[in-house]
Amino acid sequence: MKSSHYHRKGFGLKDEVEPELIRAYESDLITEIKENGNCLERNGIFIKLADSFGFCWGVDRAVSMAYETRRHFPEKKIWITNEIIHNPLVNSHLKEMDVQFVEVDENGNKNLEGITDGDVVIVPAFGASVEEMELLQEKGCEIVDTTCPWVSRVWNRVVKYARSDFTAIIHGKYNHEETIATASRAQTYLIVENLAESRWVCDYILKGGDREEFLRRFEKATSSGFDPDIHLVRVGIANQTTMLKGETELIGKLFEKTMLSKYGPKVIDEHFFSPGDTICDATQERQDAMLLLVEDPLDLMIVIGGFNSSNTGHLKEIAEAKGIPAYHIDGARCIVSGEEILHLENSDADKHKQIPVVKRGWLPQGTDRKIRIGITAGASTPNQVVADVIEHILALKAEAQA
């Protein structure tokens, strides 16, 4: 095997890259709004920012490590296995720094063929699968691993389940990089995306059902050789760190109740294990802030984050559950005009998919009263992107008033 090197920390260049990161991703406007109690009133619009939004600690660290890596290896070919985080601005800056992005298909399969001996490979904040790490080591790469410690914590849990012969029930999206990486560490796993899927599985556990239908339904979301009649006898719960906390809790309780009904309280420890959720603190803070924000009287909510950002999508769900019109956009480019906005909507053709759609009439028009807009952003969205969106909305309104 060729020799690879593994870097889990930066290269001591944090102070050098810091000014560059501030220039690229921070914003004076956001600082001003924060100093004003997260509020801004201008041009007949009242903007209320969530108490907690945008870059989390893990993303900050991953982006900073990527910048340090470029400086530390100025001559080497550098790759990122997919994206460092789910944000188009950050990814475009890295491309400008001549960092190559590994292609990924819609099932999460990566094409690592272009990577050769001695190349530098940055593993993103959501981590990489066991197979991928082994392949990179075999290729003799310099591996810069920015996996967030919150993600490693989930991996530790599923490894523990595997040692005790428990199937990991992972609340997550089967094709999300983090969940793919987590599942690769489990011996047997089943990925459930939401409460409805969990109910279906729990019904199967209690009443049995059509085994073939089960396998068809969870074809992409189970470990190889998974048999629902064998592998749902001992289950432990884990989750993607960025899922909706409330839903993860309900799923944990549902499986616990199911195993209690089936096996009784005396032997429950042999059939069910869940030492609490593994939602990360940044996700929780952003969801809590959103729950608070939607208590305000808002006309609409703008949620900013990459279109493949899971935690951003869940923030939008909180506003929708409250009946507030909410738009998940990835930046100012999505605000086409005061009439049209490009945002993510559920696909009719595939329940697992959301697609960008132009929606008309998103901004209330022809009213003399103030329009109240709530704004938040997922953990991979820089302040600069949030500021651009706010400036764009204010400019549209100013134009309409002129």
- Residues with a catalytic annotation lie at 178
Rounded least distance, CB 55 to ligand SF4, Å: 8
Nearer to ligand SF4, 149 or 361 (CB): 149
Using the rule CB under 6 A, is 11 a contact of ligand SF4?
A: no
Rounded least distance, CB 60 to ligand SF4, Å: 8
Using the rule CB under 6 A, is 283 a contact of ligand SF4?
A: yes
Binding mask 37-76 toward ligand SF4 (x if CB under 6 A, else -) reads: -------------------xxxx-----------------
Closest among 196, 271, 194, 182 to 232, alpha carbons compared = 271
User: Near ligand SF4 by CB under 6 A, which window of 71-79, 89-97, 146-154, 364-372?
Assistant: 146-154
User: Near ligand SF4 by CB under 6 A, which window of 148-156, 247-255, 317-325, 326-334?
Assistant: 148-156
Rounded least distance, CB 247 to ligand SF4, Å: 16
Strand partners, 192: 171
Nearer to ligand SF4, 150 or 174 (CB): 150
Select from 89, 201, 282, 377 the one that contacts ligand SF4 (CB under 6 A): 282
Q: Which residue is nearest to ligand SF4 (CB)?
A: 58
Question: Is 248 in contact with 210 (CB distance < 8 Å)?
Answer: no
Nearer to ligand SF4, 156 or 337 (CB): 156
User: Near ligand SF4 by CB under 6 A, which window of 95-103, 145-153, 190-198, 213-221?
Assistant: 145-153
Rounded least distance, CB 33 to ligand SF4, Å: 22
Using the rule CB under 6 A, is 155 a contact of ligand SF4?
A: no
Select from 63, 115, 121, 151 the one that contacts ligand SF4 (CB under 6 A): 151
Using the rule CB under 6 A, is 158 a contact of ligand SF4?
A: no
User: Near ligand SF4 by CB under 6 A, which window of 68-76, 106-114, 276-284, 327-335?
Assistant: 276-284
Binding mask 167-206 toward ligand SF4 (x if CB under 6 A, else -) reads: ----------------------------------------
Residues 231-270 that bind ligand SF4 (CB under 6 A): 241-242
Using the rule CB under 6 A, is 312 a contact of ligand SF4?
A: no
Question: Is 389 in contact with 332 (CB distance < 8 Å)?
Answer: yes
Q: What 3 state SS string does the chain have?
A: CCCCEEECCCCCCHHHHHHHHHHHHCCHHHHHHHHCCCEEEECCEEEEECCCCCCCHHHHHHHHHHHHHHHHCCCCCEEECCCCCCCHHHHHHHHHCCEEECEECCCCCEECCCCCCCCEEEECCCCCCHHHHHHHHHCCCEEEECCCHHHHHHHHHHHHHHHCCCEEEEECCCCCHHHHHHHCCCCCEEEECCHHHHHHHHHHHHHCCCHHHHHHHCHHHECCCCCCCCCCCCEEEEECCCCCHHHHHHHHHHHHHHHHHHHCHHHHHHCEECCCCCCCHHHHHHHHHHHHHCCCCCCEEEEECCCCCHHHHHHHHHHHHCCCCEEEECCHHHECCCCEEEEEEECCCCCCCEEEEEEECCCCCCCCCCEEEEEEECCCCCHHHHHHHHHHHHHHHHHHHC
| Strand bridging mode 5-7 / 78-80 | unpaired
Residues 340-379 that bind ligand SF4 (CB under 6 A): 379
Nearer to ligand SF4, 222 or 311 (CB): 311
Strand partners, 375: 49, 302
Nearer to ligand SF4, 124 or 331 (CB): 124
Point out which residues bind ligand SF4 (CB under 6 A).
56-59, 125, 148, 150-151, 241-242, 280, 282-283, 311, 379
